[in-house]
Structure 1
Amino acid sequence: MWTKFKPLLLILAASLLLVLSGMTYVKNSNEIKTLDAEYESLNSKLNQTEQDIAEKQGEVATQKTESVKKVTGLDPELIQSDSAEAEKYFVAAFSWSNGTEYEGVRNQYIESLGEDNSFTKTYLPPDTKIEINSGMLSYIDFKKLRTTMDSIYVVPTTAEGNRVRYVAFVQYIMHKDGSDLVNTDALERSEAIIEFTAAGDSADGKRRITEVSARTGYSAGLLDD
């Protein structure tokens, strides 16, 4: 008798399993949709929070800049810009690799600053010529000297409108071969102290370095033996 109804029971069992599977699928599908909606909501809130934080940081930065301007009369962004200009202006003086290049750099600064400026007298003195059998040889080439600017730190001292007077502390490395720079931590730094003025319209990006001089009472020529 059970054998007669066994196919029917199997069909009913399979149908019930199919119904249960369908209900489970629908339930899971609804749960996935709910989770997706919650995720989108949380993601939207996160994006809004990040945007609010960025706006607040911008406001704080602006307030900080205005506070510095009010207290010191100096614009931090202008100081940063002038520091970059100073690095571009002075890097050649402390980055040369042979006597010919040195002479070119020296003449460049003399042309810009004048023959009697203290900057070239202190940091770019005339290259001594040494007499050898084949003729005259540059002291720089004889000693195989070269130098590389390592860093420059600029400090404002006075300001009159957009004219700002600075002191620059330059560190440079005297060495004899490019391979020396593989491990600069092992090399001794020399220091130059320079005064200069930055002037011009910052809005037009026409700031220029002028009135350059070696710091009074400080001397450290690059060619000192």
Structure 2
Amino acid sequence: MSNESEDKKVIKSDDISVIFLSTHNYKDYQEQLENFKSKNERINKVVHARPSIIDGKIDEYDNRDTVLLFFVNIDGKDKLIGYVSFAASSLKDTDLEISIPSVVVNTFAISEQFSKKYYAVLVPYLDDNGREIGVSELSCASFMLEYLMDSLDDISTSIGITHVYLYAEPAKGVPEFYKDNDFFPFTSDIKAFNLVNREYCFIRTLNNARHRKFGLDAEQHHNN
């Protein structure tokens, strides 16, 4: 039997496409969404429930979320890697009595197939001048998260957001995944208006120069 290193499947970042989901293109991806399966049944229900939330007569989602779908082409077929939804929000610093403009990640779901460790995404690593100096190897989940953070970094100054936060399911390995990707637990002075359980709330600051060095080309990966 082959070991994990021999079985590792490598995906190039150029082979991954990212779709903005909307009422206009939902039917194109409805079958993949209805068949989507992650390791978390609650999240599966969220992804599967989109048909009942979306009404073709409205122009946007009722919950105002932006939804990204991550696909990779394997053997001529587009496979749904993951699903991310996020929205504008704010946090409150109770010590300074100020609001912190933020983005909340409401759903972060990766297909059970692509959550396995032997899937690796190769991402060009760039220096400050944009020259490729190597390749980073990320898990599919880490690629999705870095893509999101890189995209939000690009617009953070123009729209005034400074942080991203989320609730991490208290399942094995989930809080650790976010900690490994530069998220930190809420401190006692941070309050989120829409999160009740502070124990698994995590936050990350935008405009982190480290993530700028990943060669994630938004124009290349965003498809309308």
Structure having the higher strand fraction is 2
TM-score (norm 1): 0.25
TM-score (norm 2): 0.26
* Greater RCO structure (CA 8 Å; 6+ sep): 2
Tell which structure's C-alpha radius of gyration is larger: 1
